[in-house]
Structure 1
Amino acid sequence: MANVAFLGLGVMGYPMAGHLVAKGHQVTVYNRSESKAKAWVAEHGGGWGATPRAAAEAADFVMACVGNDDDLRSICLGPDGAFAGMKPGAVFVDHTTVSAQVTRELAAVAADQGKGFVDAPVSGGQAGAVNGVLSVMCGGPEADYARAEPVIAAYARICRRLGDSGAGQLAKMMNQICIAGLVQGLAEALAFGQKAGLDGEAVVEVISQGAAGSWQMANRHKTMLADSFDFGFAVDWMRKDLGICLATADEIGASLPITALIDQFYKDVQLMGGGRNDTSSLIRRLSTGPK
């Protein structure tokens, strides 16, 4: 069992860190608001650090799940950052969805300091984190990944190395591109059914067993029909992720016309006041409005 630090106790990180304890690892946590870190320790045991550096000092592995590129840099770099506290040979595992650019930048810094770095963004949402069944897409040196994978397994249904540093983030972009299209398609189908006077629940029961079936259909159609979105993966976060996808597409010369359009649809939802709603709230653009 490993000595692990976990930095960032949001809706994903809080249960992920708990699974590490359940698997027998020794865990020290850090969160920007100390009250959240103290609450986690009261629930799960372990310890907490006042800074990323303090949390990381004795760790073999430092896992992170924060907000964006700037948040990741802030917990890694500087005198109070995790890199300053990590011992040589320790591995930093980043579960944040960020750009491949910042991943490669920080991986290079870590390598210069004799530390490992694995980019390991996750998919599966809050429910996947709570139930310990996340899909984890990884990039980085093979040796670093091989060491980290048994620890990541505490909250993963599947974990795979997909290439060098940044490959995990690029795979997560593909994941978000797919989700955006699926949610918009489901929203259009359900709104169409409402206009046509069909029972959406009854139709989904049938079509979900055929080629149209998806995780989004199985897990989101009921709440979409009920106009209930106070949960899940927020529209604000999805726009952040799609912004990364679109910027990367420009860099590599890829075309994402549907993704760009759906990003604007999510902007519409934000303007409607739904920035903190689940991404399935796309249907609100198409339906007759809140019930």
Structure 2
Amino acid sequence: MKLSFLGLGVMGYPMAAHLLKAGHDVTVFNRTSEKAAKWVAENGGAMEPDPVSACRDARIVLACVGNDDDSIAVATAALSGMEEGALYVDHTTTSAACAEEIARRAAERGIGFVDAPVSGGQAGAENGALSIMCGGSDADFATAAAVMDRYAKRIVHIGPVGHGQLCKAVNQICIAGLLQGLSEAVHFGSRAGIDMDKVYEAVSGGAAQSWQMENRWATMNKGEFDFGFAVDWMRKDLRIALDEAGRHGASLPVTALVDQFYAQVQENGGRRWDTSSLVSRLNKNSS
């Protein structure tokens, strides 16, 4: 199938490669053309200098960019180059309102749309093991899922357009609270002077176990954060969740508090650190 992939960041770069390895005809676009040229040199496929030319004749266009403004701008350009009957899939984490706006513009051109934010981080993208939560019609979802399967271990159709993004907000709310609890646990155990390797062996086999514990405990204990999902992006996602909470009359006191803790991590120079760097704030405040 002729596909286009727009946005070759830490997630999009390996996701697009999975599509090419599956035998699809893939054309990529990235705002930094050097990144697109590097991708083509490593993987094959083709690149174009703008979204319009990159999406011409594509059956499905997939995008993974930065925020609402980026998504609207890239989608508007891409849709102008797409043919009626094609499908636009947005993997960017955005507001539900952004997804609804792109869907409206796509519908005006007879193009389908699925909002499909992902969870699993860079490792999930590289290993083809992402969890994807989708909003859109049954038909559009089925078409998208057949392609997204190449880089996903789980794909769930949540509901109509926008519901994928609302589900992603739920995902980020869960992670924020969990990481704060995990940070306090690691901080406490370290201060108490107990063997943290043995602590992990004990608690990871019980009710406290989680993906974050399995994948971040050791690096949190060592104070290593130069990898993973950046604090800047987490704050963007939590702002979306808090804004959506206001729209729907939901109360998120812990999420709001953790968002402010992340602001402190940013002030301490951790804008690009992994989200597990919450623990650094506790260690700094206790030093």
What TM-score results when the alignment is normalised by the length of structure 1?
0.97
1:58 aligns with 2:54: no
- Distance in 1 of aligned mates of 2:99 and 2:26: 24
Runs of at least 5 residues in structure 1 that lack an aligned partner in the other structure: none
What's the secondary structure of 1:117's corresponding residue?
strand
What's the secondary structure of 1:162's corresponding residue?
strand
- Distance in 1 of aligned mates of 2:53 and 2:174: 39
Aligned residue type for 2:100? R
Moved more, 55-64 or 196-205: 196-205
Aligned residue type for 1:63? L
Is the contact between residue 284 and residue 290 of structure 1 (CA under 8 Å) also seen in structure 2? no
| Off by >6 Å, runs of 4+ in structure 1 | none
- In the alignment, which of 232, 235, 238 is matched to residue 242 of structure 1? 238
- Distance in 2 of aligned mates of 1:10 and 1:101: 23
State the 1:112 CA deviation.
1.5
- In the alignment, which of 186, 202, 205 is matched to residue 201 of structure 2? 205
* Paired position in structure 2 for 1:100: 96
Is the contact between residue 118 and residue 138 of structure 1 (CA under 8 Å) also seen in structure 2? yes
- In the alignment, which of 148, 157, 174 is matched to residue 170 of structure 2? 174
What's the secondary structure of 2:62's corresponding residue?
strand
* Paired position in structure 2 for 1:214: 210
Aligned residue type for 1:43? E
- In the alignment, which of 85, 96, 101 is matched to residue 81 of structure 2? 85
User: Percent of pairs identical after alignment?
Assistant: 58
CA deviations on 1:149-186 (whole Å, 9 max, x unpaired) are 11000100010111000010000000000000111010
State the 1:288 CA deviation.
4.9
1:142 aligns with 2:138: yes
What's the secondary structure of 1:6's corresponding residue?
strand
CA deviations on 1:68-111 (whole Å, 9 max, x unpaired) are 0000111111xxx1001111111000000000001001101101
Q: How many residues align?
A: 287
What's the secondary structure of 1:66's corresponding residue?
coil
* Paired position in structure 2 for 1:45: 44
* Paired position in structure 2 for 1:255: 251
* Paired position in structure 2 for 1:185: 181
Distance 1:110 1:288, change over 3 A: closer
Is the contact between residue 227 and residue 290 of structure 1 (CA under 8 Å) also seen in structure 2? no
State the 1:202 CA deviation.
1.2
* Paired position in structure 2 for 1:4: 3
Aligned residue type for 2:150? A
Aligned residue type for 1:123? S
Distance 1:288 1:101, change over 3 A: closer
1:276 aligns with 2:272: yes
- Distance in 2 of aligned mates of 1:109 and 1:232: 33
Runs of at least 5 residues in structure 2 that lack an aligned partner in the other structure: none
Aligned residue type for 2:203? I
- Distance in 2 of aligned mates of 1:254 and 1:17: 36
State the 1:290 CA deviation.
11
What's the secondary structure of 2:159's corresponding residue?
coil
State the 1:289 CA deviation.
7.5
What's the secondary structure of 1:143's corresponding residue?
helix
RMSD: 1.2
Is the contact between residue 133 and residue 156 of structure 1 (CA under 8 Å) also seen in structure 2? yes
* Paired position in structure 1 for 2:155: 159
- Distance in 2 of aligned mates of 1:175 and 1:33: 30
Aligned residue type for 1:150? A
